Amino acid sequence: MSLNKLLQQIEFIKEIDKIKYIQRKTKLFNSDRNENDAEHSWHLAIMAIVLAEHANEPVDVLKVVKMLLIHDLVEIDAGDTFIYDTVKDHNNTDEERVAAQRIFGMLPQEQAEDLIGIWEEFEAGHTAEARFARSMDRLEPLLQNTSNAGGTWKEFDVPFSKVYNKKKVIKEGSDTIWNYAEDLLNENVAKGILRKD
pTM, rounded to two decimals: 0.94
Q: Spell out the domains of the chain, with CATH numbers in brackets.
A: 7-19+32-190 (1.10.3210.10)
pLDDT for the residue 166: 94
Q: What is the 3-state secondary structure (H, E, C) of the chain?
A: CCHHHHHHHHHHHHHHHHHHHCEEEEECCCCCCEEEHHHHHHHHHHHHHHHHHHCCCCCCHHHHHHHHHHCCCCHHHHCCCCCCCCCCCCCCHHHHHHHHHHHHCCCCHHHHHHHHHHHHHHHHCCCHHHHHHHHHHHHHHHHHHHHCCCHHHHHCCCEHHHHHHHHCCHHHHCHHHHHHHHHHHHHHHHCCCCECC
Residue 80 — very low, low, confident or very high, per pLDDT cuts 50/70/90?
A: confident
Q: What is the pLDDT of residues 138-166, one digit of tens each?
A: 999 999 999 999 999 999 999 999 999 99
